Structure 1
């Protein structure tokens, strides 16, 4: 019956979406500051529109409920680069992009040709005054203190701006490890606890994600088998009806 196919296809769609997210998690297992995602699904009940006589005419479909991002802190890794910074606990770096101000946990920073501190995409890292941070060419001894203040052999330069949000789940993934804030989600400047010469690694567990992918693939194949079986049943029923009508 058609209802069986509709329900199976809704399940396949949800499994495909989950597989896509798991694949993206695995692709970013080595991306600094990346936060893994999972899809959440719920049951959606719909009235049957067929003429079938059912005890309960409600059909149960799989419905995409939303995406939940895992914002737990990833492990730290030493890089030896004095411009790399990792945040302990809460907080996001503030990055100026062509699409506006965005936020990230990825502290892989460098100097561009103008001496400006930028992220891996070449976008400016902002200080507490919402200004880009510049290091003079002759300044080679860069120190970043626990509170994010930057200094060189010539004295203080600026302080990294770090902010936190009322609801992290309202942050929208933008590009790479960048996030955009949602309207109405309050943002608050915080005094961070940062570590120089370190980066926060992806919080994705590759073993867990691989196991999840295998489980999802098997579930997808099982649903496909059910669809194929239902298709064969309907074909056999049609052929039997045709033979009966020809007698």
Structure 2
């Protein structure tokens, strides 16, 4: 019977992970180019873990040690968001696949957030101040009103000054987030050819988060959590009753 309690406890932990992802998605619903996160259950065995193993997992977490696999994997929904017109020349949106490359203090990182600006040195940088990379390195501008075509070519005074570097990955759903809309490099990174780059100047990509869908997910998850909680409470009451009866014998 302890397996029943183990399954209920594991289900409640999975529900908590889903709630965390829903909260993250809702808090970033207005963040440009944010990609929603999804908590996916990876079932490795039809039989649930024992209650003792689940307790050990909780104790390991409290002690700061690695927990046993709880079958939860967080993936990124990489579907593109809709576009929002801003009219700002340095706002850029990638309408197809791909990421802009930027340079941070820890090396190269990648983003789809195209709300760029010029810094005091005339470099094209992200909202956080990270230099945006072109095919030839840092991009320096003479004006904040350049013309940028679909292939990422930057034109000033009818002359090309740089071209944005856009890359793609084999498995974008598994890219590791770094914060500030950045992700780390992943497997199979390749630079997109000019014909495959699709950039829109004066637009930003919206988050691919539907508040309605997230609220439905939250409601379903909370109801499932409450059901599993009742199972655990029922088992506990049944166990307590059995112990009291044994004590009366």
Interval containing the TM-score (normalised by the shorter chain): 0.7 to 0.9
2:227 aligns with 222
Q: Which residue of the partner structure matches residue 174 of structure 1?
A: 178
- Superposition pairs for residues 89-128 of structure 1, below 5 Å? 89-128=96-135
CA contact (8 A) 2:3 2:48 kept: no
In the TM superposition, what whole-angstrom CA distance separates every residue of 1:86-107 from its partner, at most 9, and x where no partner exists?
Answer: 1121211001111211111111
Q: How many equivalent residue pairs? A: 229
Residues 208 and 63 (structure 1), Cα distance of their counterparts in 2 relative to 1, 3 Å cut = same
Once the two structures are superposed, the pairs formed by residues 33-182 of structure 1 within 5 Å of their partners are: 33-45=33-45, 63-129=70-136, 131-136=137-142, 139-153=143-157, 155-182=159-186
Asked if structure 2 preserves the Cα contact closer than 8 Å seen for 1:117 and 1:125, the reply is yes
Secondary structure, aligned partner of 1:217? helix
Q: Over the residues paired in the alignment, what is the CA RMSD in angstroms?
A: 2.1
Structure 1 residue aligned with 2:204 = 199
For residues 2 and 26 of structure 1, the distance between their equivalents in structure 2, rounded to whole angstroms, comes to 36
> Are the equivalent residues in 2 in contact too, given 1:170–1:185 (CA < 8 A)?
no
C-alpha spacing 1:144/1:47, structure 2 compared with 1 (3 Å): closer
Structure 1 stretches of 5 or more lacking a match?
A: 51-61
Length-normalised TM-score, structure 2 = 0.85
Aligned equivalents of 1:140, 1:169: Cα separation in 2: 34
Match of 2:189 in 1: 186
Larger Cα-atom Rg: 1
Q: Which residue of 1 aligns with 2:29?
A: 29
| TM-aligned CA deviation for residue 231 of structure 1 | 0.9
Q: Which has the higher helix share?
A: 2
Query: Which residue matches 2:243?
Result: 238
Verify the 8 A CA contact 2:135 2:163 in the aligned structure 1: yes
Change (3 A) 1:220 1:48: closer
TM-score, reference length from structure 1:
0.86
Higher strand share: 1
Aligned mates of 1:140, 1:112 — CA distance in 2: 10
